Amino acid sequence: MRGVFVYWVLLRGASGVTRISGFLVLHVFVGLWMLWLLVSHQWPALVAARPALARPDALWNYTTGVEIGISSLLSWWAYIGAMIRMAPNGRNRRRARHAGAWAHRFRSSA
């Protein structure tokens, strides 16, 4: 069901994303409110918490966490870079309502 909703929003192009983004920004504030509740009321429990599959060596745990963070960061930037390269420039963004509006850039000149 969610996939159908996302597909429907994306079919509308940039205007569909713009319309739905006003509603989605509320989720950011709800998330911040939940984070504030967690940190303000449960801070001692958070500090005392032990990871579920922690090893006895703390250095190993921190190293693993940093490696997972670095790999996530590197994969994110490659994805964003690909999206930026595929997007039309700012001057043409209003004319490019869907992929067909700028697909001529990928056609061969022969």
List all residues 6 or more positions away from 4 whose beta carbon is below 8 Å from its beta carbon.
none
**Per-residue pLDDT tens over the stretch 10-21:** 787 777 777 777
Between these two residues, 82 and 1, which has the higher pLDDT value? 1
Q: Tell me: the pLDDT tens digits for 81-99?
A: 777 777 666 555 555 455 5
Taking 3-state DSSP, the helix, strand and coil percentages for the chain, each rounded to the nearest 5, stand at 75, 0, 25
Q: How far is CA 50 from CA 41, 46, 53, 106, in A?
A: 18, 9, 9, 52
Q: Which residue has the higher pLDDT, 38 or 88?
A: 38
Q: Which amino acid is at 6?
A: V
The structure tokens listed for 37 are 């509740």
